[in-house]
Structure 1
Amino acid sequence: MRILIVGAGATGGAFGARLQECGRDVTYLVRPERAAHLRAHGLTFVAPDGTRTFPVRAVTAAELAGPFDVVIVAVKSGGLPAVLDDIAPAVGEGTVVIPFLNGLAHVDQLRERYGDRVLGGLVRIVATLRDGQVVQLHPLATMTVGALDASSVPLLAPVLDALDVPGFELIVSDDVLGALWEKWAFIVAAGVVTCLFRNTVGNIVAAGGEPQVRAAIEETERVAAAAGHPVGRTAHEQSVGLLTQPGSAFTSSLYRDVVAGNPNETEHLLGDYAARARALAVPVPTLDLTLVQLRAGALGS
């Protein structure tokens, strides 16, 4: 199976390294500067179980030739518009496209372009890119895949066999759309809490903010339920536990990007969620307030 991973950052690099470690045929589609780095230095993966460096096959959009059996899209939302065109040579009659972005806007855009070849996917991993190296900060690593609806192409055994390697847990879901909504509801709640109060969870709770945190979680979960994908009890309790833990240094990745002045996913994650809430007639006052703050901050920067 020929596997194309679009992006060799924290997510694409970590899962790609695990696949390479087991001898899978992996190619990375990256920007020219990243391609030059990978060709010169290889892909260094710093994981909880050790550090290793792999020689890689890195190509740019101008060099891409296909088709591939599996195309994994592991970029942030800002890179998606270019990716929609860039991966075209890689997508053939038998290709499956599995995006690992958060939210749902990317699913709509990819399906509009590539139809039922697009499956649902999400990953859970704590990783970062540091001096060109992929660093996994916690042993947790899961990859969830599944058909978005009855029209999607089936997940054939060779694809699952190719993706099922040690180092992360492969989960095949019969409700991957529900899983995407569940994760999105949490990410939006975490973004609202940490961006609105501009602090860590521990400090927000210490300042008396736990009722507001719980209200934000309930607000985002009402939207998911109205969309037909209610958040399960276990996931709800995990969200509450993580976002109300005393002394916790947790902040959302959106908050970290905003504070650092980096490109961020405010509109892809929070803006799209608020738009879907309006379409479903679900009030989201805390989310709306956070969006005003983030948008005004962006205008003033």
Structure 2
Amino acid sequence: MRILIVGAGAIGGYFGGRLLEAGRDVTFLVRPARAQELDRSGLIVRSPQGNILYPSPPQVMAPMLDQTFDLILLSCKAYDLDTAMDAFAAAVGPDTLILPLLNGMAHLERLAERFSPDNVLGGQCLISLDRDASGAILHLNDTNQLSFGELNGGLTPRILKVAEALADAGFDANLSQQIVQEMWEKWCFIATGAGITGAMRASIGDVIASDGEFLVLKLLAECASVAEHAGYAVRSEVRQRFQAMLTTPGSKMTASMLRDMERGTPIEVEQVIGDMIARRASSDKHASGGLSALDFVHLHLKAYEARRIREQS
């Protein structure tokens, strides 16, 4: 199976690097600056699961992309989706499968509109990654799961081929028959974790130490209500696990959104929080008579974006 990894950033570089080391047919679609980094230093991953140093990994830039691929692994920031689709459009044929690992849910509709619903799979990853100033990818925890599946949950011949291509490659490749449910649950977790740590500019442990547990639980409950309204109620055992992770005293957990804010770079505020607000039931809007937790974190994160844009203009 010929695999195109769109970008060689933290997520694409990590999973693409693992697949390369496992001998899979992988090509990275990169921009000129990243192409120069890869040519100069190779693909570098520092991970508790084993480091990777892959000199001069196979790569291509959008103007030279002139053939279709079997599988496209899409891991760009959600706000870069339109640019990414333009870049990899030439690689999409009638039988190409697009496996997106973006936050939120809106990208599924946009990918289906741009290409075809038949091209689009569901996907998510559970991993904490970052990049240092040199471009090296840093794996920050012990989890490296990539889940994927048909949006209708079917065990089709094509999804079984994807499972075979991703298996035994140094990460946990999970073929899921309820991938949309899992994507909604992850969105609730990301929206809560990113919303809290980003809005408060602090780790989970610092928020809890400041008596902020009530706000964490309120935000999680509001996100779970949106998921339930959409027909994907967060399962009780999953919600309990999320609550434990998001209220652990002393936890150093922060979202990648906060790290982006600390760097002064764009954030996925509209894709992670704004779209969650847009999808909530009308009865949930300001149900308490005051500012909801979702509205509160949305306001704080939009203020960051407004300041970033003003200072960079």
Q: Could you say whether these structures have the same fold, taking a TM-score greater than 0.5 normalized by the shorter chain as the test?
A: yes
Residues 119 and 152 of structure 1 are in contact (CA less than 8 Å); yes or no, is this contact kept in structure 2?
no
CA distance in 1, matches of 2:141, 2:198: 24
Q: What residue is the counterpart of 1:139 in the other structure? A: 142
More strand by share: 1
Residues 77 and 106 of structure 1 are in contact (CA less than 8 Å); yes or no, is this contact kept in structure 2?
yes
Identity of aligned residues (%): 38
Distance 1:136 1:143, change over 3 A: same
Residues 155 and 177 of structure 2 are in contact (CA less than 8 Å); yes or no, is this contact kept in structure 1?
no
Q: 1:54-111: per-residue Cα shift (whole Å, max 9, x none)?
A: 1311111111121111011011123211111211111112211101111011111111
CA distance in 1, matches of 2:114, 2:155: 14
CA distance in 2, matches of 1:42, 1:194: 33
Residue 211 (structure 2) aligned to one of 195, 208, 214: 208
Q: What residue is the counterpart of 1:198 in the other structure? A: 201
Question: Secondary structure at the residue paired with 1:103?
Answer: coil
RMSD: 1.9
Q: What residue is the counterpart of 2:17 in the other structure? A: 17
Matched positions, count = 300
1:151 Cα deviation from its structure 2 partner: 9.7
CA distance in 1, matches of 2:206, 2:36: 42
Matched, 1:259 2:262: yes
Q: What residue is the counterpart of 2:179 in the other structure? A: 176
Residues 153 and 179 of structure 2 are in contact (CA less than 8 Å); yes or no, is this contact kept in structure 1?
no
Residues 260 and 266 of structure 2 are in contact (CA less than 8 Å); yes or no, is this contact kept in structure 1?
yes
The residue identity in structure 1 corresponding to 2:129 is: A
1:238 Cα deviation from its structure 2 partner: 1.6
Q: What residue is the counterpart of 2:311 in the other structure? A: none
CA distance in 1, matches of 2:108, 2:32: 26
Distance 1:30 1:257, change over 3 A: same
1:153 Cα deviation from its structure 2 partner: 7.3
CA distance in 2, matches of 1:174, 1:186: 20
CA distance in 2, matches of 1:22, 1:235: 32
1:281 Cα deviation from its structure 2 partner: 4.1
Q: What residue is the counterpart of 2:299 in the other structure? A: 292
Question: Secondary structure at the residue paired with 1:3?
Answer: strand
CA distance in 2, matches of 1:270, 1:88: 28
The residue identity in structure 1 corresponding to 2:4 is: L
Matched, 1:108 2:109: yes
Q: What residue is the counterpart of 1:73 in the other structure? A: 74
Identify unmatched segments of 5+ residues in structure 1. Answer: none
Question: Secondary structure at the residue paired with 2:294?
Answer: helix
Distance 1:220 1:39, change over 3 A: same
Q: 1:129-159: per-residue Cα shift (whole Å, max 9, x none)?
A: 1211122122211111111137997634332
Residues 146 and 155 of structure 1 are in contact (CA less than 8 Å); yes or no, is this contact kept in structure 2?
no
Instruction: Describe how 1:1-301 pairs up with structure 2 within 5 A.
Output: 1-55=1-55, 56-115=57-116, 116-130=118-132, 131-149=134-152, 155-278=158-281, 281-283=283-285, 285-301=292-308
CA distance in 2, matches of 1:204, 1:156: 41
1:11 Cα deviation from its structure 2 partner: 0.5
TM-score normalized by structure 1? 0.94
CA distance in 2, matches of 1:150, 1:246: 37
Question: Secondary structure at the residue paired with 2:300?
Answer: helix
Q: 1:230-282: per-residue Cα shift (whole Å, max 9, x none)?
A: 1112221121111111111212222222233111111111111111115x543
